[in-house]
Chain A
């Protein structure tokens, strides 16, 4: 029995390494993807949710809530992915000989890191809401954090050369 578990662990490790290689290759060609924050705001709007809860039968509400949570999770996943891309971009900009660019890049990396952590928490909370639709655990802090990150990235884009500017501005 132990032998089987150990072999399964080793094979699982090989699978994980293979996925890491694939993810790294995929990420190389990845770009910052758009986030429709208006739709995101509508999805996490509690008034909307309360309205649905009052008007719909319990089973219908649960089904719709799950659909909303699933879509919200996709949005959060996209924000998390964008934050991760910005982290990579910021790390590259940290090597800049221009002190101001390097400092702004450092701020961006820190902010993107915080946002990424918040996304992990948000995804965990949303997973719980998906499991129990009557729960209300919407990540309210996520959008302001994303806005702060965006402002800093735009600032970095302005500091850097015009050829480097489009990527930071694009979030």
Chain B
């Protein structure tokens, strides 16, 4: 009973956080920079409120929940694409290589997702829920993998993440990773464990909301307050390079 109360409380906290994020997005005109993320948020917010209201109508709740979850996953992919586009928009030289790498990783992840879909051990519960959970697990594998690829590429290429873009990617990454863990464990466990997994899922989502709010609100750090080497040192490097070139 206490656990259900906790779930209800966290759910309400999540809706409040979503409302705050909505205000932040509207005030910052977030739809101009992040159209897919804004759509992702709008669908998430609407579904949270809608599902909260419908929670006593079990059948309607069930279908609405999984429908919204499917739309959420699809929009999640669109957000990953959006982050990728923004990150490489100013790097023409890297974009082609990054796109190629990204496509290869996507193809690999789709294969892994397909294998998981086919080979997954039978779930402890049957019917449509089992199928939906397996599909979601596969989709989350692809989503998490793509986000990992994005972070790895930016690290390898030494790219500078803008504050807001980093926040969007990080929030989505945390949410998708927590979802992947809970959805995977969900299929292997009993109803008693599902209550605890619900708490973890909502906590993961609320954490992501806080990340999004934080990164969208905090202004970009300015560059300039940096310690610089001596000018004489610079002249020495220049001399060394000139010697090297003349060799």
**Residues 137-160 of A at the B interface (beta carbon under 8 Å):** 143-144, 146-147, 150
Cβ proximity bits A110-122 to B, threshold 8 Å, 1 near / 0 not: 1001101100100
- B56 contacts chain A at the CB level, 8 A cutoff: no
- A103 contacts chain B at the CB level, 8 A cutoff: no
Interchain CB contact under 8 A, B174 and A28? no
- A50 contacts chain B at the CB level, 8 A cutoff: no
Q: A16 and B119 in contact (CB under 8 A), knowing A37-B237, A91-B90, A167-B226? A: no
- Of B92, B144, B181, B237, the contact of A36 (CB 8 Å cutoff): B237
Cβ proximity bits A7-34 to B, threshold 8 Å, 1 near / 0 not: 1011111101100110110011111111
CB distance from A141 to the nearest CB of B (A): 11
Interchain CB contact under 8 A, B166 and A117? no
Q: Which residue of A lies closest to B157 (CB)?
A: A116
Interchain CB contact under 8 A, A170 and B228? yes
Which chain B residues border A120 with CB–CB below 8 Å?
Answer: 156-157
Interchain CB contact under 8 A, A9 and B188? no
- A101 contacts chain B at the CB level, 8 A cutoff: no
Size bin of chain A's contact surface: 35 or more
Interchain CB contact under 8 A, A147 and B121? no
Q: Which of B154, B166, B223, B242 has the most CB of A within 10 A?
A: B223
Interchain CB contact under 8 A, A143 and B245? yes
Interface size on B, residues (CB 8 A): 59
Interchain CB contact under 8 A, A32 and B237? no
**Residues 83-97 of B at the A interface (beta carbon under 8 Å):** 90-94, 97
Interchain CB contact under 8 A, B221 and A28? yes
Q: Which of B93, B147, B178 has the most CB of A within 10 A?
A: B93
CB distance from A139 to the nearest CB of B (A): 12
Interchain CB contact under 8 A, B181 and A7? yes
- A38 contacts chain B at the CB level, 8 A cutoff: yes
Which chain B residues border A38 with CB–CB below 8 Å?
Answer: 236, 240, 243
Q: Which of A81, A113, A171 has the most CB of B within 10 A?
A: A113
The stretch of A61-69, A82-90, A126-134 that contacts the partner chain: A82-90
Which chain A residues border B145 with CB–CB below 8 Å?
Answer: 9
- Of A16, A113, A117, the contact of B151 (CB 8 Å cutoff): A16
CB distance from A142 to the nearest CB of B (A): 10
Taken together as a complex, chains A and B put the C-alpha atoms of A98 and B231 apart, in Å, by 26
Interchain CB contact under 8 A, A31 and B228? yes
Interchain CB contact under 8 A, B157 and A9? no
Cβ proximity bits B73-115 to A, threshold 8 Å, 1 near / 0 not: 0000000000000000011111001000000000000000001
- B184 contacts chain A at the CB level, 8 A cutoff: yes
Which chain A residues border B151 with CB–CB below 8 Å?
Answer: 16-17, 20
- Of B181, B221, B226, the contact of A11 (CB 8 Å cutoff): B181
> Which 9 pairs show the lowest CB-CB distances between chains A and B?
A84-B158, A37-B240, A88-B160, A38-B240, A147-B241, A10-B180, A170-B228, A31-B226, A13-B177
What is the interface of chain A, defined by CB distance below 8 A to chain B?
A: 2-3, 6-7, 9-14, 16-17, 20-21, 23-24, 27-38, 40-41, 80-81, 83-84, 87-89, 91-92, 94, 109-110, 113-114, 116-117, 120, 143-144, 146-147, 150, 163-164, 166-167, 169-171
Given A6-B141, A84-B160, 17 new contacts (CB under 8 A): A9-B141, A10-B184, A17-B173, A20-B166, A27-B160, A31-B228, A31-B229, A87-B160, A109-B91, A113-B93, A116-B158, A143-B245, A147-B241, A163-B224, A164-B224, A167-B223, A167-B228
Contact sample, A vs B, 27 pairs, CB 8 Å cutoff: A2-B116, A2-B120, A3-B185, A6-B184, A10-B178, A11-B177, A13-B173, A13-B177, A16-B152, A34-B233, A34-B237, A36-B236, A37-B237, A37-B244, A80-B158, A84-B160, A87-B160, A88-B160, A91-B90, A91-B160, A110-B93, A113-B157, A114-B93, A143-B241, A144-B245, A167-B226, A170-B228
